[in-house]
């Protein structure tokens, strides 16, 4: 039998590893060292902001990403200029700064031997009287109000002719898009109140509201009886529910307002075909549970996470079972890639097991990060966020370095998952995000004999092929399915 240790345990490494530099590597190449960390910067709206740090690094690259309040990778071009000078100065210049640019920025300087990170906060403006919010009608009914300020503010509204201002927000926010779909018919003005100074901004011009449009939500509430919340992520939450018409239990994935395009793309991917190891999409409800939000109705996978199931059923937790489920995962990824889709978030939380059939069946879920690959341009459509801490240990080096997404990311994640599934240990996870990042960039992992005793050596060869640091050389899911290990066990 295999180890039942939790998959998140730290793997202590010593000596040589699979990613250890060869004897022919020039001695001048060393892991980067941080010399001058990034410092906080404050600029006026419309001015240029320069964030920088300095590292002692050779043959290195520098990438920047915004980590708060939202998370996104930055690309050189437009208002953003990213550079790494010969003296190790890594710079990010943001031209014509806006209030929405304020936040925390992180720089990663790395080469094939490791990487270092440093963060700094950018403040745009010194605060004061808020501006005027933008107001528009919403197709689902009601009004949508948007604001983008240097400081957090509350939104208030006043019905024309009444003269009484009412607060529309529970908590202040510097930038927000708020849908007020249940307002009674009438004309409304809006204003912002600075949370720090309580200063009131000028009111907007009156906007006409035709009354809240809730028929979509009424239809939805009649059909589905919500039971409980079973998951929550950065942009969505998942509920278990019952279809009152068929009696079937389903999963409801509610995507937050502002991410409607993600929900539409996920539904398009999942409704365009079917695979036994990929969760099925049953329906899509726009403007549910509120204006701007969307709800996906999905097949409910009741068995939970596959690794949790394996740990709870030690008699069934064998190399043969691992090989069977890994083959199912690779088959799902091969099907997606053949349909020009990359999942980009393959990790244990998104690999579930369905137990209603004669044999346990792996199910790949959560396509919120998935992208569609354009066959004409061989590029990817969709915005991809940099890996969150929970995703980092399954992210390939090119993802950590902020490079464009590709199907090869999925093959790497499958290799990490197979390592975890066989040993209960994570090959790259370390004491900190920085150390984990460095391990991934230099592909620093190994196969400790005490944890791999009794496991077919061919499994290690398969993992090495999936964890090739060069995407073009990395084994594809299609080719991995032909590996002899699946038949040997």
Q: Which fold has domain 224-300?
A: Phosphorylase Kinase; domain 1 (3.30.200)
Instruction: Please report, in range form, the residues annotated as the binding site.
Output: 253
- Decide if domain 303-371+390-488 falls under CATH 1.10.510.10: yes
pLDDT digits (tens, 9 = 90+) for 169-186: 888 888 888 888 767 777
Query: Three-class SS of residue 260?
Result: helix
CB atoms within 10 A of CB 286: 16
Computed over every residue of the chain, the mean pLDDT equals 85
Domain ranges of the chain: 33-124, 134-210, 224-300, 303-371+390-488
Domains 134-210 and 224-300 in one fold: no
User: What is the distance between the alpha carbons of residues 343 and 361, in angstroms, rounded to a whole number?
Assistant: 19
Enter the CATH code of domain 33-124.
2.60.40.10
User: What is the distance between the alpha carbons of residues 402 and 73, in angstroms, rounded to a whole number?
Assistant: 6
CATH class, 134-210 region: mainly beta
Q: Is the pLDDT reported for residue 412 higher than 60?
A: yes
Identify the weakest region by mean pLDDT among 18-32, 257-271, 337-351, 396-410. Answer: 18-32
How does DSSP assign 407-469, residue by residue?
THHHHHHHHHHHHHHHHSB-SS--SSHHHHHHHHHTT-----HHHHTTS-HHHHHHHHHHT-S
What's the confidence (pLDDT) of residue 24?
Answer: 42
Q: Are 3 and 450 in contact (CB under 8 A)?
A: no
Whether 488 is catalytic: no
Instruction: Please report, in range form, the residues annotated as the binding site for ATP.
Output: 253
**Percentage helix, strand, coil for the chain under 3-state DSSP, each rounded to 5:** 25, 35, 45
Percent of the chain surpassing pLDDT 90: 50
In the set 262, 345, 366, 483, the catalytic residue is 345
pLDDT digits (tens, 9 = 90+) for 279-336: 999 998 877 887 667 899 999 998 999 999 999 999 989 999 999 999 999 999 999 9
């Amino acid at each position: 039998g295999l180890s039942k240790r939790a998959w998140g345990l730290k793997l202590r490494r010593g000596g040589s590893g699979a990613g250890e530099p060869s004897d022919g590597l020039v001695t001048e190449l060393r892991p980067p060292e941080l010399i001058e960390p990034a410092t906080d910067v404050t600029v006026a709206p419309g001015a240029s902001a320069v964030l920088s740090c300095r590292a002692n690094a050779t043959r290195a690259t520098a990438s920047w990403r915004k980590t708060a309040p939202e998370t996104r990778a930055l690309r050189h071009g437009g208002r953003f200029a990213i550079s790494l000078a010969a003296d190790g100065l890594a710079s990010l210049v943001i031209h014509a700064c806006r209030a929405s640019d304020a936040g925390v920025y992180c720089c990663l300087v790395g080469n094939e031997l490791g990487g270092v990170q440093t963060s700094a906060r950018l403040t745009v403006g010194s605060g004061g009287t808020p501006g005027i919010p933008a107001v528009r009608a919403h197709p689902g009914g009601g009004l949508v109000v948007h604001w983008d300020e240097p400081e957090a503010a509350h939104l208030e509204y006043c019905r024309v002719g009444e003269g009484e201002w009412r607060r529309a927000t529970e908590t202040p926010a510097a930038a927000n898009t708020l849908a007020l779909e249940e307002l009674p018919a009438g004309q409304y003005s809006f204003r912002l109140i600075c949370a720090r100074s309580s200063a009131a901004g000028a009111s907007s011009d009156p906007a006409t509201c035709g009354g809240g449009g809730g028929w979509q939500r009424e239809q939805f509430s009649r059909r589905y009886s919500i039971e409980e919340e079973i998951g929550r992520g950065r942009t969505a939450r998942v509920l278990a529910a019952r279809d009152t018409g068929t009696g079937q239990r389903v999963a409801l994935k509610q995507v937050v307002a502002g991410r409607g395009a993600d929900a539409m793309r996920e539904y398009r991917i999942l409704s365009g075909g079917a695979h036994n190891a990929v969760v099925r999409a049953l329906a899509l409800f726009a403007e549910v549970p509120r204006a701007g939000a969307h709800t996906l109705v999905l097949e409910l996978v009741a068995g939970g996470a596959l690794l949790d199931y394996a740990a709870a059923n030690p008699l069934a937790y064998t190399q043969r079972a691992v090989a069977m489920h890994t083959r199912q995962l690779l088959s799902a990824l091969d099907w997606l890639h053949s349909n020009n889709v990359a999942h980009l978030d393959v990790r244990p939380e998104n690999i579930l097991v369905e137990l209603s059939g004669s044999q346990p069946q792996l199910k790949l879920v959560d396509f919120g990060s998935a992208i569609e690959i354009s066959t004409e341009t061989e590029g990817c459509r969709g915005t991809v966020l940099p890996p969150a801490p929970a995703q980092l240990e399954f992210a390939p080096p090119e993802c950590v370095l902020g490079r464009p997404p590709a199907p090869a990311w999925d093959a790497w994640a499958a290799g990490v998952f197979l390592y975890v599934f066989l040993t209960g240990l994570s090959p790259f996870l370390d004491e900190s995000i920085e150390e984990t990042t460095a391990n991934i960039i230099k592909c620093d992992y190994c196969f400790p004999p005490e944890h791999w005793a009794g496991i077919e050596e061919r499994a290690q060869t398969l993992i090495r092929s999936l964890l090739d640091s060069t995407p073009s050389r990395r084994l594809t899911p299609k080719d991995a399915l032909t590996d002899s290990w699946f038949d040997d066990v």
